[in-house]
Amino acid sequence: AKGAGLDLRVHFKNTFETARAIRRMKLLAAKKYLNDVIEQKRCVPFRRYNGGVGRTSQAKEFKHTQGRWPVKSCKFLLNVLDNVQANAEAKNLEVGKLKIIHIMVNKARPGRRRTFKAHGRINPFMSSPCHIQVIARECSKPAKKSILSGSEKKKNIPFKITLKKLIKLNLSKKRIGKK
pLDDT at 165: 75
Range 2-138 classified under CATH 3.90.470.10: yes
pLDDT beneath 50, residues of the chain: none
What is the Cα Rg of the chain in Å? 24
> pTM for the complete prediction?
0.78
E strand spans, 12-171: 44-45, 67-68, 98-107, 112-116, 122-126, 130-138
CB distance 32 to 106 below 8 Å: no
pLDDT at 51: 96
d(CA 73, CA 53): 16
pLDDT at 152: 59
Half-sphere exposure of 3 (CA within 13 A, CB side): 23
pLDDT digits (tens, 9 = 90+) for 76-96: 999 999 999 999 999 999 999
